[in-house]
Structures are given as structure tokens and as C-alpha cells.
Structure 1
Amino acid sequence: MKKRNSIKKKLFQIIMVSTLTCVLVSVVISLVAVYSVEQQQIQSSMRFGLSQIRSSIDQEYLGLMNVMRGLEAGGDTGSAAENFLEEKDGYQKAVKKQILDEQISDVLFLNLNVRAVSYAASETGELLFGSGTVSEIREEQNRRKEIWQVGDRIFYTIEQARGQGEGYLISMLSKNQNFGEYCLDIFLEKRVEPFEKSDYRLLLLDQNGRVCYTESEDFTMDEEIPLKENGEDYSGFEQNGNYLMTAESGMGFTYGLAVPLSVYYKESNMWRMRMAVVMVGCFCLFYLIVLAIYQMIGKPIQKLKLEIAETGKGNLGAVKEDTGIEEFNQVLDGINRMRRDLRATQEKEKQEEELRKKAEAEKLMYQINPHFVLNTLYSVQWMAQQAGNTRIREFIHNFMAILSYNLGKENAVSSLRTEVEIARKYIEIQKERYDFEVRLEVEEGDYLDTPAIRMLLQPLIENALQHGLGTSGRLEIWIFEDPRRQYGVIIVRDYGEGLSREKLEELNRPLGAEDSKKTRNGIGLRYVRSMLETVYGSEAILDVNSTRGRGTKVTILLPLVRDDGKEGEIFD
């Protein structure tokens, strides 16, 4: 009998053949196209940028020469300088000095990018007139590298402008200019607007190929770069971990743009990514083949997986979709039957849980008949008032207020402020029985009007009075707001014998994990923990900290704002 292939195996074979065919075709096309395009595109961008920089800087140096001609002897400013220097009469010399200053101001005004003009004695370096000081001018000349010299004119390399915003500075020095009997050096500096270089770094090389300006940390000053002689206007090669493209200036020095090889090949990879679009087109054919198979078999399988996953998440709704295949429909019918059984089980458990909670609440809240007790207490209060016993009357009054509050309607909303008032009355009642000192400090604020569960403070105070007074007979209660964490904080502390380790571990267990064994001594704390869990869930915190021989401290952090940021809606 001929062995039959499974659907999975056939599907795998079709996918593999289609994928390999598409990948091979895409790779061949990509390698042929990208290899020739990537280098040309990047180098073309660098040539364009280098051409713009070369044209701009050459024009700026030529403009600098034109300004210098006016400053030298024979120029307008140069003539004014010579007249000033040769004048002997004090008054006339002051007049000609003013004319010279106006000439220099005109130069600066007409050439807005000119930053400094100065005349200094050639031998001593003394600044005679112009802008700046002797030390500043000498510092500028010594700091900058000479890049080109024609006769007595020295051109300095560009440098980054400091304190002048973005841009560069170029400068030149005209040496040993004769102004009558004076020999002067003229220094001129001009600001150049910044260039658009993208990720490239600018270099300037002198006539010998030494670096005289660099923006790249991979090249050092005075480093000699072997220039390539290929007879073309632009030359590109790898140097110091960079791809360097150079172009010779019309003034004799060389410009260069450098880009790190990591960036250089990154741009190449970007071109490869663009060519990946071709591969996507090939894979579209592959997906059309897979889609036909998926529509027939894969889609029903995915539907089964989805319904099983939804069942695991608790979605027990009926499945009504028809897959068109009898076998798959039978599996879906089985899922529907399983969901019906689960719904019935959950509904039964829910009803049992509601009955249990209702019975527990009724046991805690309705252990006595409130109408009978209150009517009896009213009679006792009236009898005490008739007998003139104000102490008993006040005692009964406080007790009735507490009892009326504690026996209020189920799920009725209270507040921290009401809880504090009931706690005060409860303390006054207990003072008739116990001899103790109490310190009750309540921080006033709007947080006291926050909705809270009933009988929150009374069980804590009762527990402290019964088990924690000790020999000191002192009880401390603090209630305040923690605005940063948005909590109302309640602290009840006594100085009695403290709790045993076993009792402390029992009280500090997570809510709902207490021992099922009920005792009257622990009913108060269990009530508080149960109500905090029911109303606030995990947002409320109750912590019991006790040390043997030193007392017990109970801390409650009551959320003033829910997790969703809504105030006062805990009980909604």
C-alpha cells in the first residue's frame, strides 16, 4: 500500500519550494543592482557637498583679498592710515585719526561678516589702531595654521567660530606694508556661514598634504595624508577608518570630506534595504500559494485553537460559526457542550459563595434584635434622667449612639469623620470600666469625609483595651492623611504585653487566609480584614506589628482614590 503524505508534510514541501525560489531570485537581483548603485550614490552626494564647500570658501578668501586691498597702502583706508601716521600737528592728527576710524567703521559696515581689522607695527607688534588688543591679535596669528602664502600675504586656515554662533572664521595677514616711514602688518578676519555637510567632516590640507584643519577626531593636526593622483577633479579613498574624498582648491590647498566607514557602509545598507522591496514582491507570490492552502485547512484549525484559548480565558459563550467541514464542526459542537457544563458549574459556585457571604454578614451584623435593645436602652436612659444621675444618662447616651451606628443598615456608607466620633464615644464608655490614658490625634482635612466601612476603628480600640493596656495603661491613636500616596493612615498603638509569634503570623497573613477556627477574641480583627478585602480589594493595607513586652501597633492604609483615579467612588 502506498504511503500517504500528511497535510502538514505537503504544506511544508510547497512552502519550502516557493520560499527557496523567491529568495534565490530576489538575492540575485539585489546583488546585481545594489553593488553598482550604492557606491555611486554616496560618492555623488559627497562630490556635490565638497563642490559647494570649495566654491564657497574660495569665494570667501577672494572676498577677503578684495577687502585687504582697501586696507593696504594706496587703498581708501590705507591712505587714511598713512595720512594719520605722517601727520605731526596734534590737532590735525586727531582729525585724521577720526577720519581713519570712520574708514574702518565703513569697512565693517559694508562687509557685515568682517569681524576684526587691525594695524600693528611689523617689528614690535604694537597695535596702532583697529579692533582688538595686541595679545588677542598675536594669539589669533599663533593659534592658526598658515595654509597659503602669496608674497607678503599670508592666508590662515578656517576654524570654528567661538562665541559667534555657528559658522567658521577665515583670516589673512598682509606683512611689511609701507605707509611712508612706517612698516605695518595688517590683520583681517571674516566670519563664514556654516555649510551643509550631513554626516561628513571637513578637512583642509596644505600644499604638502598635511592636515591644517580637521573636524574629525580620526585625523590629527599636521598629519600627512597621501593624496591620490588620478588626474580627476575629485579623489576618494579609505584613510584612518574613514572614507575620504578630496578636491584641490584653485588657491593651491586641498579640501576634504571624511565620513566614518561605519556610516559609509550604513548608507550602503540602506540602499540594500530599499532593494529588499524586490524580495517582498517575490514573497507575495509565496503567500498567495500558502493562502489557498490556509483557506482550505489552516483557517478551521486556527478557529479551533482560538476557541480553546478563549475557553481557557473564561469565555464560555456558544460557538455558532460553520467551518464548512463536518469533522471540524463536530469538534466545535464538543467545545459548546463543554462550555455549557462549565457555565452551570460556575453559576452553582457563584450562588453558593453569595449565600456564604450573606450568612456571614448576617451573623456579624444581626446577632441581636436592634429594636428591642434600643427601646430598652431608651427606657434606662429616661429612668437615669428622672433620677438625676447624669453620669449614667451620659453613659447610656454614648452607648446608644454606638449601638445605633453598629446596627445600621447593611452596606450603609460611613466616613472617617463619623468613625472618629463613634470612637470618641466608645473610649468614654470604656473609661468607666478601665483606668487608662488615651492620646487621640486626628489631622483635620477633607480626607475625613472620604467614604469608609462601618466599625473600622472600634474593633481595633476594643482589642487594644482588652489585651494591650498592660501596666502603663496607655493607648495612642493617630489618624492623618498621606497626600503623596493618597492614603488615609490609621495607627492604633498600645504598650501591653504584645502578641505571640503564632498569633502575629496569623494576623499578618493575606486577607482571606486566616484560620477557619472562630474565636470571640479574634472576631473584631477578622471583621475589619474581611470588610477591607470586600470593599477595597488589594488597595487597602492592614498590618499588625507586635513585640513581646513592648506592645502592639496596628496600621491601616485606607485608599482615598481608586486605581482608576476616581475619588469617593469606592462604594459606588
Structure 2
Amino acid sequence: MKNLKLCIFNRYKNLKIKYKLIIIISTIMVVCLSFIILGFQYAFNSYDEQIYRKSSQVLIMSSNRIEDELKNIEEVSYRVLADNKIQQALIEAKKELTNYDQYQIEKEIRDTLTSYIGSEEYIQSIHLFDTNGKEYQAGKITASILYENADHLEQRAREGDGRNVWVSLKDSQNTIFSARQLRSYQNLSLDNLGTLIIEVSLNDIVKELPREWGGQEGRIAISYGEDIFFAEETSIQIDKLNLSVSDRQGYRIQKLAERNYFVTYSNSTYANWTYWNVLPFETMFAKVTTIKFLVIFLFFVILLSSIYFFIRFSKRITDPIENLVSAMKVVQNGDFKAVDTFRLTEEKDEIGILHRNFFVMIERINDLINENYEKQLLIKDTEFKALQSQINPHFLYNTLESINWLAKINKQTQISKMVESLGFLLRNAISLKDDVITVQEEIEMVQHYITIQKFRFEERLDFSLNINENVKGCLIPKLIIQPLVENAINYALEMMMEPCKIKVSAYKEGKDLYLAVEDNGQGMDMAQLEQVRRGEFKTRGNGIGLSNIDSRIKFVFGSKYGLQIDSELNIGTKVLIIIPYQTRWSYV
């Protein structure tokens, strides 16, 4: 896999610019398309959520409306149950009666039931069965399904033990039945007086519900457990719905008869029913789907158009560059005159400027070559005369040795020591072969420098060393301690009349080497210290400045190393050098 990636990268790297541009633009467009698709997907999911919320609200409102009507009808059944005429008539019906008395009871019960029919518009009929099985009816003619399931309805009423029970029959899709057992309130005996059954047109209740989604063909269904006992008339195969739900309300997209439907459901605690709202998915999302495919189509049109125009545009860039590359190859072979045969672009953009500058440069180079050839002899002659006038450093060293020998003969020990120290410093400062020395060698240079300065300042210079043995062999850049000692003398010792203490320390902490030069001079205030740290302080000498040493260290070892300067007015100054501890030089 790694070799494949490397191969693809190498092939891309060697492509021409115009092909690279095409690949880059295509990649950018594809990435943009991916983000657009993800954005659309997020928007569609949000749209689904909004539709669900609206569908859920409509479904909950519909279920509440249905249940409100059913509660009203339940209230009617309770009023029938508590009606004194009904109670008295059913008690009388249990006795031995003449035909006339029986007729009067039946008439009174039917008249009373008829009065309740008109109290709710969705009641189809009311049926009252006494303990002898005799039926008293009011309302429309009832389908035979009620009588076929009369025993089942009476059984459900007995299970309700006086409470209202809603019963849905499998073959009755448009109606629902309220069943309640009638008990005697006389003397609170609660004797069974019969069974009250109210037939309700559930279909008429649903028809009166508010419709959303612009009158689309969505339909409402109601299920109890795994059975759908009511469904509006529709071509949708609602009986194929997946009725298994894990929460009280939600939505899903389900396929019925090769069509996708947006199905919203809500569970009701009133009768433990589940209400369903089924909407055709393609009708709801037709515009959104059209927009999605239209955007993708337009994107590909724009992509192909962009690639075409980028090819045309890239040729205007790459053709002059290729012409320039060919001219460079000719120049590379040393034929400057052949460059004149190449066509110079007339464009005034960056490519045109590059063309003109290149040909101007070639002309200048050609002139410089001719001019340089004519001046070579003069330069050689000048160099020869300059070499003759140079002073051999060895002559200077030999002269200092002669002065030293003469001083020893005349027993001038001070002069001898100064000459020896000066010779050591000159030899090490001028030598170019060793840019890296040990801490011990750098300290020796400092000691020779101090030897010379001691003769000048005598007791005013109090110099001390604190060099750990484990750092003496550590390698450091040449001339980084001596300039700091020189600064301490220039800016601390020279400004004081009393003795000045200058201390040089070297120690190791962790993987780093610390070199410190401290003095007890007059120090600096915060403003002057900040100037020194930023390299803005103007020095009085011509030696190696602190910023120069700091730049050398950072260049060699990195930005985490370098100088740290601390100073307090009338207390003194401390300059700390931090570099990696190493006994073998690994930097170039």
C-alpha cells in the first residue's frame, strides 16, 4: 500500500502543470460535492424531523379529538346507566308482568334510549339487553355483526365490572362498540340489570378530523396490539404495516406494495390503542428529491465546464513556460545566441514579465561574460600584487617570540607574560581550522585574556573560575565565553573604583551545558535590560556583541538555546549560555 501511494505521488509530481491543475480543480470540486451531499443529507434529515414533528402533532391532535368524542359517548353510556327510568324499568322487567305492562316497559325504555341517540351525532344505535336476554333498541338498523358477537360483547362488559369497555370487532372496520354492564342502584344492591351496547361510527369521527399536507392521500389507522381494527378506505395496504413499536411515538419509512410511505405512530393510554398516519413518501418528497438531483446534475455540468475552461486557461500559462524551459535548456548548453530564435510572449501578466526578465538576464549574462573575460588578466595581476603586500601571520608570531625572548633575557617577567598571553590569544583568534573547542581550551583563552587585563587593572579585577570537572571536555563553539568576560570588564569593572568580582562558571544540568559569566557591577534598569535583550543597545566597542553570540548559538543548536541575561541596578549582571552537552560535535 505504501509503495502504491509513493508511486501515485511520484507520477503526480512528474505531471505537467496543466494536468496538475486539472487534478487539483477536480479534487476540489469533488470535495465540494461531498460537502454539498452531506449538507443535503443533513438538511433532509432535519426536514424529516420537521415532518415527523408536524405529523406527530397532527396525529396526537387527531387521537385526542377521537378520544374526546369517545369520552362523550362514554358519558352518554353512564347517563343511560344512571337514568332512573331505565333502572326502574329493568327492575320491573324481572317481575311477572302482563303483556300490556311488558309493552309499557319496552316503550318507556325505547323512548328513553331514543332521547340519548340525538345527544351525540356519532352514535349509530343503542342496544340494551336485560338479564332475560330481551333486547331494547333505538337508532339505525344494526348490522348482523352485532348479534353474531353479542355473547362476546356481553362477556367484555362483564369483565369491565360496571366500567365502560370499548370493543372493536374484526369484521367491522367502520364502527366501534361501547359495552357496559348495568347495575341496580336501588338500595345499593348493585344487582345485574343487563348489558348496554352503543354502536359508534368511528369512520364518521375520523372524516371530521382536520387534514394536513394539502389533501394528500395519507390515511389514519388504529390498532390494538398486533391487530388493526380501524383503517380509512384507501388503496394503501395498511394491513401490511409493521405494527411492532418500541416507544410511545415515532416515525419510520416503510415500503408497502413497492411504494415507500412515511408512517407516523402514537400510542394512547386511554384505551391502549396505537394511532397510525400513513403518507406516501414520494408525494411528500417529490420536490426535494427533484431539487437534489437537479443540484447534482448542475454540479457535474459546472465541473465539466470548469475542467474545459481550466484546460484552455492552463494552456495559456503552460505554453509560454514550456517555451521558456526550452530556452533554458539551450542556455544550459552554453549557446546564448540561440535564445534569440525563441518567440517572446506579448502578454503583460506574470508569465510575460518572467519571459522578458529571462531574456534581459541572458543578455546581461552574455555581456558580463564578455566583460569578465576582458578583466581576468587585470584581476590576476591585482591579486598577485595583493599577495605580495600581505604580512605572514607567522612573521607576527615570530616577532612576538623574539620580544618574549628579549624580555626574559632582561628579566622583564610582566612583559614576558603579557607577550605570551597576547601570542596565545592571537594564534587562537586568527586560526581558522578549529571552530569548535573544548570548555578547557576556551577557559585557557579566558585566563590568558585575564592575565593581560590583570596588568592593567591589578587589584581592581577580582576574577574567579568554577568549572566542574565533568564539563571540561565538552565541546563548544569557539569564542563564546571570552567576549562575555570582555563585556564584564568594559561595562562593570571600568565603571567602578572599588574591586569588581567577575566569576565564570560551567556546569551540567540534565542534557544541557550551562556557562555563566557574573559580575557585581552597576547593573542595568529594566528599560536598558530590555534593550539589551532585543539587541537594540548600542555598544561602545567593536568586539563581538551579545546578539552575535546568541545568533550563532541559535543557528547551530536551535531556538530553544542561546543567551539569558539578568541584571539588577547596583547589584550586578549575569549572562547565561545554554547549549546541548556533547563531547562529540555533530553539527555542521
TM-score range, shorter chain: 0.3 to 0.5
- Which structure has the greater CA radius of gyration? 2
Q: Which has the higher helix share?
A: 2
* TM-score between the two structures when normalised by the length of structure 2: 0.37
